[in-house]
Structure formats: structure tokens, C-alpha cells
């Protein structure tokens, strides 16, 4: 009996964690989706740290000098993201992965590599990638504007490549594309958006070689109907995006009507020469279409097109931006397309309360509805939406000026799952409306920009009840002050993005309040003239996750504020200091000590000398990817500095304004 009691006492003294198996602990880790929770997990014990290293499958790196150590720790990665890592160039890739005897485990299992915005990357770096990632299936080189045909030809050796993104790779031509498609015949997804040098010739070869292609994006390319004729032979194609292809017309889309039997998603927005007849051709040959986007494409939703749309029984989303619609057309779509989960009517004329009342009754599964700039709708439409679409997740009502607190009350009582709501420039929204809206406890994104009739009283209700908010936009809400921010900071601890620009009543006390938001990632505080370096210091000391800061026109902030910001905010990647009254010392301190800084806007810094700009840019040139300066400085800064920035892949936007130095 005594032995049993001793054994029981011994078991009770042990931590419950010691009896959980590794499999159970990994299943628990699967359920931790919040970053703060996962960070807490890492701090428990060394065993939890080890399990996390086995569990992690993706890694986003902010500084490349940490990468070797991270790859030794995480040896089972599927995805490696270097898109936010400054100064990724050929030399960096050689240092990281070009060793004659690289670690066999460090990159062995990586299937997805993201190198977007690595503007200084060239053929040498890509050749190292090809050798070092034997299992690579997906690579993203979007916005690598310096890449040319010779550079991307290295990708031809990645024979297992299935997904390739080359968005805005402006130097890639048909020759470079030909090299890729000849070697990568297993490609299933290809994004060539904004690759302006690709023509019909390249698309023709692509269609012949990559017959397994399922997803293709040719947006803004200067291709013609000939390309569509070639694309029609891709019998596995499911998704086709051709936004802004102005050289394509209805005849081209006629080719698609007889091809691509598996086509499910098509986007022909901003195709200037395409009418409703062209879209009709696509629909006629593809009864299985699920997603259609045709914004800014034709002026009116014709009756034949509506009748054909009504026969798409599997249609899940439709976006018809800037077209004239009628009550009858909306009613016909709503009565027949019962599986719709997303409808986009942004800037469509003719959208009325009656049209919405006819559209929504049969759409119980509708989750996303965009009514941006539908100026005629009132609380009547909101009541119809609330009564019929109780599973609604996202509702855009920007510039719907006739809605009031009564309509918002219906949403608050009938749409408990609502997560995103855009009320920008809705002048009828007031504190009473926000109080009604605070019943939507699942809100994660709320946009209230230009709502001039709201104050701290309404915002306090949101702060106390909507505790899941991740994004809050209060742009030019001049009635908002420090007390409202105190309520938001107290209740919305998960907030990641906050826009307070031109909320002129906010002072240092307001910034001190939001300094408790540890997960705040993006903050806009333009023209907050009452804040000083004291408030900025409190913000920097508390918001350690801050990565994007826009403080344009904060006249009362001086060098002292930037000293503290540079010391505490080591993760800042994007900053706007335009129109701030800082000196050479402040600018050099900020630019030199923010080790992750990649994007800086430095316009109208009247207290900074040319020498100050020179020193600040030299201190940060290895990291900068984007820079905004006055055009006058183009002739005052040294040519060697500008050449060095360009060589590192930094894109400079020159503003045409006169330079004034105090």
C-alpha cells in the first residue's frame, strides 16, 4: 500500500509534459497558428525548441547573415523566403550556397524558393540556386527587374520545376522564355505579368512545349489573337488571366470557345477591345466555369450575356466592375447561380436597393460582396443583405454615402461572422453606427477612412468588443483622439496594421497608448503635428515588430526621435521621412542603423544637406531596394553613389520638385 502511495506521489510531482509523446506535442504545435503563441512555445524548454525545428516547414529570413545557422537548425524545410532579405545578389548566393561541399541537409528538401525583389540577382546567383536545391519545384523571381535572358536561362536546368513567377521581369524576352520552356516541360503554373518583351512568338513555343500548364497569367503583355489561338491547345489549362491585354479582341476569344475543356477561371479585365460578345464566346464553350472577372471591359451587361451567365450552375464568383447593370440582370444571376460565394459590383452604375433585394435572397452561401461606389444603395439594401447572407465574411461599402446606423445595426445583429468591412468615405456612419457594428465580434479588418462623423465615443465601443481586429484604417478621421486610441490599444492586442494619418488631434499620449501593441507591423501617422520625439520614442520602445512606418509631415519630431527609433526598431523595412524637420545627424543615424531597411522616402528634407544625403545613402546602399528623392539631387549627389545604388538593384523614383535647403 505504501509503495503504491509513493508511486502516485512520484507521478504527481512530474510535469504532465514529460508523459506526452512527441507525436502528441507535434499535434499541439499544429494548432498554434498565432506567432506569439509559437514564440511562447519556443521558450518553454530545449525539447520544445527541438520539436519546433522538426515541425517547421517554411522560413522567412530578414537578414541573410543569419541564414546558415537557421538552415542548420531547420533541416526539413519545404519553403525558403528571401524576398524581404536585403542585398540578395550573386555574391550573397555564392557565399550562402556556393560552397564546394555544402551541407547535404540544409537545402535538400526545399521545394519552394521565393526571391522576389532581389533586383541585383543575376545568372551567377541563379546557377548556384539550380545546383543547391535539387528538389526545387517552385521559384518566384517577381520584380527582379534586372534579370535578362542570359540570367533566366539557368532555370532550364531545373527539370522538376512546376511553378514559375516572373512578374515584371522587364528584361526577359521570347529568347529567355524559350530557354526556360524547352528545359522545364513539366511547368504547371507560369506568371508572366508585366513581362513587356514577351510576344506571340514566345507564347506559341510555350503552348507547344508546356502541355501540362494549368495556370497562365499574361496580364499586360502585348500579345495578339494569335497567342489565344495557341493557348486554346492547352487542354489542361484551368486558370487564364489576361488583364490589360489591349491587342486582343472578340475574335481572339472565339478561339478559346473551342479549346481548354477544363477552364474554370478567366480574368479579362481592362481588355479595351473586348466586348460582352467576347466574354460570351468563352462562356459558351465552358459550362464548368467557376470564376469570371471582367472589370472595366465593357460598358453594359447585355441581356444575351446575362442569359448565358445564368446557365453556369457551378459559378462561384463573378466580378463586373464599372459596367451598367439592371435590376433584372442582378435578379436573373441571383435566381440561377445559387453557388455564388463572391460578387464584385464595384463602380457599377444602376445598382439599386431593388436590384440587391432581387440578387441576394437565394445566395445563403455568399461570403464576399463588393459594392464600392454604388451610390444609390441605402439601408434597405443592407437589410436585404443581412437577412439573406448570414454567412457573409467580407463587405465593401466604400463611398456608399446613403447608409446610416440603421443599416449597420442590421449587419451587427444578423451577420455575426463578418470579418472585413470597408466603410471608407461613408458620411452617414457615426458613433451610433459603430456601436451597432461592435456586435460583429469576428471583425479582423475595419476601414473607416474619411468618416468625418465618428469620434472617440464610437471607437471606444469597437476597442472594447472587437478584440480580433488585425487592421484598422482611420485615415482623416479628425474626430478621433487619444482616448479612442487608448480603447483600441487596450482591447485589440492583435492589431497589426493601423492608419492614423491626418488624425490631427492625436498627441504623444496616443502613441504611448498604442506602444503596448506588440504585434503592430504597419503604422501610418502622416501629418500628426502634435506628436514629438517623446511619443515616437515610446512607440519604438514598445512596438518591436514594427516594419513599415509612414511619418511624412510629422514636423515636431526631431533627431532625438530618430535616434531612439533606430536603436529599438531594428525590424523596420520601409520608412517615409518626407517633410520631417530632421538634420544630417538624424538621417544618417536612421539610415545607418536600421539594418533591415529596404525602402525609404526622403522628399523635402529641408534641414538635410547634400552631404547628409550622401553619407546616409552610402551607409545604407547595400540594403536599399527602393528610394524616393527630389529630382534635383540627381545632379548633386556623386555619380559613383548613384551607380553603386543602381548596381545593387535599387530603383530610385525622382520627384519633380524644387530643392529647398535651410
Range in 43-52, 190-199, 501-510, 643-652 with the lowest mean pLDDT: 43-52
Could you tell me the pLDDT band of residue 2, with boundaries at 50, 70 and 90? very low
Q: Which of the two residues, 333 and 53, has the higher pLDDT score?
A: 333
pLDDT recorded at residue 648: 82
- pLDDT at residue 102 tops 90: no
How far apart are the C-alpha atoms of 277 and 163, rounded to whole Å?
Answer: 33
Residue-wise pLDDT for 335-378, tens only, equals: 999 999 999 999 999 999 999 999 999 999 999 999 999 999 99
CB atoms within 10 A of CB 167: 18
- pLDDT at residue 16 tops 70: no
In sequence order, what are the residues at sequence separation of 6 or more whose Cβ sits closer than 8 angstroms to the Cβ of residue 510?
481, 482, 485, 486, 500, 531, 535
Query: Is residue 438 a contact partner of residue 464, using CB atoms and an 8 Å limit?
Result: yes
Q: Which three cell numbers stand for residue 188?
A: 504547371
Query: Is residue 200 a contact partner of residue 223, using CB atoms and an 8 Å limit?
Result: yes
Diameter of the chain measured on Cα atoms: 92
pLDDT recorded at residue 56: 87
Task: Write the DSSP string, 137-161.
Answer: -EEE-TT-TT-BHHHHGGGGG-TT-
Could you tell me the pLDDT band of residue 529, with boundaries at 50, 70 and 90? very high
* Chain position carrying cell 512607440: 539
Average pLDDT, the chain: 92
pLDDT recorded at residue 545: 92
Residue-wise pLDDT for 391-419, tens only, equals: 999 999 999 999 999 999 999 999 999 99
From the centroid of its chain, how far is CA 492?
A: 22
Residue-wise pLDDT for 183-206, tens only, equals: 999 999 999 999 999 999 999 999
pLDDT recorded at residue 100: 63
DSSP 381: H
Highest mean pLDDT among 58-72, 209-223, 275-289: 209-223
Burial 339-364 (b: 16+ CB within 10 A, else e): ebbbbbbbbbebbbbbbbbbbbebbe
- pLDDT at residue 105 tops 70: no
pLDDT recorded at residue 538: 96
Residue-wise pLDDT for 427-468, tens only, equals: 999 999 999 999 999 999 999 999 999 999 999 999 999 999
Residue-wise pLDDT for 120-172, tens only, equals: 888 899 999 888 899 999 999 999 988 999 999 999 999 899 999 999 999 99
Q: Which of 448, 593, 578, 467 is nearest to 519 (CA)?
A: 467
From the centroid of its chain, how far is CA 191?
A: 17
pLDDT recorded at residue 375: 96
CB atoms within 10 A of CB 500: 26
pLDDT recorded at residue 62: 82
Q: Which of the two residues, 293 and 118, has the higher pLDDT score?
A: 293
Range in 423-427, 569-573, 606-610 with the lowest mean pLDDT: 569-573
Q: What is the pTM of this model?
A: 0.91
Determine the 3-state secondary structure of 241 from DSSP.
Answer: strand
Q: Which three cell numbers stand for residue 33?
A: 497558428
Q: How far is CA 94 from CA 89, 133, 386, 610, in A?
A: 9, 13, 57, 36
Name the phi and psi angles at 59, rounded to 5. Answer: -145, 125
How far apart are the C-alpha atoms of 58 and 306, rounded to whole Å?
Answer: 44
Determine the 3-state secondary structure of 531 from DSSP.
Answer: coil
Could you tell me the pLDDT band of residue 3, with boundaries at 50, 70 and 90? very low
Q: How far is CA 392 from CA 183, 367, 412, 472, 649, in A?
A: 46, 4, 12, 19, 44
Q: What residues are paired with 59 via a beta bridge?
A: 80
Q: Which three cell numbers stand for residue 516?
A: 503596448
Q: Which of 632, 611, 619 is nearest to 591 (CA)?
A: 619
- pLDDT at residue 237 tops 70: yes
Write the Ramachandran bin of 476: left for phi over 0, alpha for psi from -120 to 50, otherwise beta. left
Amino acid at each position: 500500500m505504501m509503495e503504491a502511495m509513493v508511486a502516485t506521489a512520484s507521478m504527481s510531482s512530474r510535469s504532465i509534459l514529460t508523459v506526452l509523446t512527441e507525436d502528441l506535442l507535434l499535434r499541439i504545435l499544429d494548432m498554434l497558428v498565432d506567432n506569439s503563441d509559437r514564440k511562447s512555445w519556443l521558450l518553454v524548454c530545449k525539447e520544445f525548441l527541438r520539436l519546433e525545428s522538426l515541425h517547421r516547414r517554411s522560413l522567412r529570413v530578414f537578414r541573410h547573415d543569419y541564414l546558415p545557422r537557421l538552415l542548420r537548425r531547420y533541416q526539413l524545410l519545404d519553403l525558403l523566403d528571401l524576398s524581404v532579405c536585403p542585398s540578395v545578389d550573386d555574391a550573397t548566393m555564392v557565399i550562402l550556397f556556393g560552397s564546394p561541399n555544402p551541407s547535404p541537409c540544409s537545402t535538400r528538401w526545399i521545394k519552394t524558393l521565393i526571391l522576389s525583389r532581389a533586383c541585383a540577382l543575376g545568372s551567377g546567383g541563379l546557377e548556384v540556386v539550380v545546383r543547391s536545391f535539387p528538389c526545387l519545384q517552385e521559384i518566384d523571381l517577381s520584380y527582379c527587374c534586372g534579370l535578362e535572358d542570359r540570367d533566366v536561362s539557368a532555370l532550364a536546368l531545373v527539370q522538376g520545376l512546376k511553378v514559375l513567377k516572373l512578374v515584371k521581369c522587364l528584361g526577359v524576352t521570347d529568347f529567355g522564355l524559350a530557354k526556360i520552356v524547352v528545359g522545364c516541360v513539366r511547368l504547371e503554373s507560369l506568371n508572366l505579368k508585366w513581362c513587356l518583351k514577351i510576344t506571340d512568338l514566345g507564347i506559341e513555343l510555350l503552348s507547344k512545349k508546356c502541355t501540362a500548364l494549368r495556370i497562365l497569367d499574361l496580364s499586360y503583355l502585348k500579345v495578339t489573337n494569335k497567342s489565344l489561338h495557341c493557348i486554346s491547345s492547352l487542354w489542361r489549362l484551368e486558370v487564364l488571366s489576361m488583364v490589360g491585354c489591349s491587342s486582343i479582341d472578340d475574335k481572339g476569344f472565339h478561339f478559346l470557345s473551342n479549346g481548354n475543356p477544363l477552364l474554370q477561371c478567366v480574368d479579362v479585365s481592362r481588355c479595351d477591345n473586348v466586348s460582352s460578345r467576347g466574354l460570351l464566346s468563352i462562356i459558351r464553350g465552358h459550362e464548368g466555369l467557376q470564376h469570371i472577372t471582367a472589370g472595366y471591359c465593357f460598358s453594359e451587361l447585355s441581356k444575351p450575356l446575362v442569359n448565358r451567365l445564368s446557365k453556369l450552375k457551378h459559378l462561384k464568383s463573378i466580378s463586373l466592375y464599372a459596367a451598367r447593370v439592371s435590376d433584372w440582370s442582378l435578379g436573373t444571376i441571383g435566381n440561377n447561380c445559387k453557388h455564388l460565394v463572391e460578387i464584385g459590383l464595384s463602380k457599377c452604375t444602376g445598382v439599386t436597393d431593388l436590384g440587391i433585394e432581387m440578387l441576394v435572397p437565394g445566395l445563403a452561401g455568399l461570403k464576399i460582396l463588393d459594392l464600392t461606389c454604388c451610390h444609390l444603395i441605402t439601408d434597405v439594401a443592407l437589410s436585404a443583405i443581412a437577412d439573406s447572407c448570414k454567412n457573409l465574411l467580407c463587405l465593401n461599402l466604400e463611398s456608399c454615402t446613403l447608409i446610416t446606423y440603421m443599416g449597420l445595426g442590421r449587419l451587427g445583429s444578423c451577420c455575426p461572422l463578418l470579418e472585413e468591412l470597408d466603410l471608407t468615405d461613408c458620411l452617414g456612419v457615426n458613433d451610433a453606427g459603430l456601436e451597432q457594428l461592435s456586435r460583429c465580434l469576428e471583425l479582423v479588418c475595419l476601414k473607416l477612412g474619411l468618416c468625418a462623423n465618428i469620434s472617440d465615443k464610437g471607437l471606444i465601443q469597437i476597442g472594447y468588443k472587437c478584440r480580433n481586429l488585425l487592421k484598422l484604417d482611420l485615415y482623416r478621421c479628425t474626430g478621433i483622439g487619444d482616448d479612442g486610441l487608448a480603447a483600441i490599444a487596450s482591447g485589440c492586442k492583435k492589431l497589426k496594421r493601423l492608419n492614423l494619418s491626418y488624425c490631427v488631434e492625436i498627441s504623444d499620449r496616443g502613441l504611448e497608448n498604442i506602444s503596448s501593441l506588440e504585434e503592430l507591423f504597419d503604422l501610418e501617422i502622416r501629418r500628426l503635428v502634435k506628436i514629438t520625439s517623446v511619443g515616437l520614442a515610446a512607440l519604438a520602445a514598445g512596438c518591436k515588430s514594427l516594419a513599415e512606418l509612414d511619418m511624412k509631415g510629422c514636423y515636431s519630431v526631431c533627431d532625438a526621435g530618430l535616434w531612439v527609433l533606430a536603436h529599438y526598431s531594428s525590424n523596420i523595412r520601409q520608412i517615409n521621412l518626407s517633410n520631417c524637420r530632421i538634420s544630417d545627424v538624424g538621417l544618417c543615424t536612421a539610415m545607418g542603423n536600421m539594418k533591415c531597411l529596404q525602402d525609404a522616402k526622403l522628399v523635402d528634407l529641408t534641414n538635410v544637406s547634400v552631404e547628409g544625403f550622401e553619407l546616409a545613402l552610402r551607409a545604407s546602399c547595400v540594403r536599399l531596394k527602393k528610394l524616393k528623392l527630389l529630382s534635383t539631387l540627381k545632379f548633386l549627389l556623386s555619380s559613383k553613389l548613384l551607380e553603386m545604388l543602381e548596381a545593387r538593384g535599387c530603383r530610385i523614383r525622382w520627384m519633380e520638385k524644387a530643392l529647398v535647403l535651410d
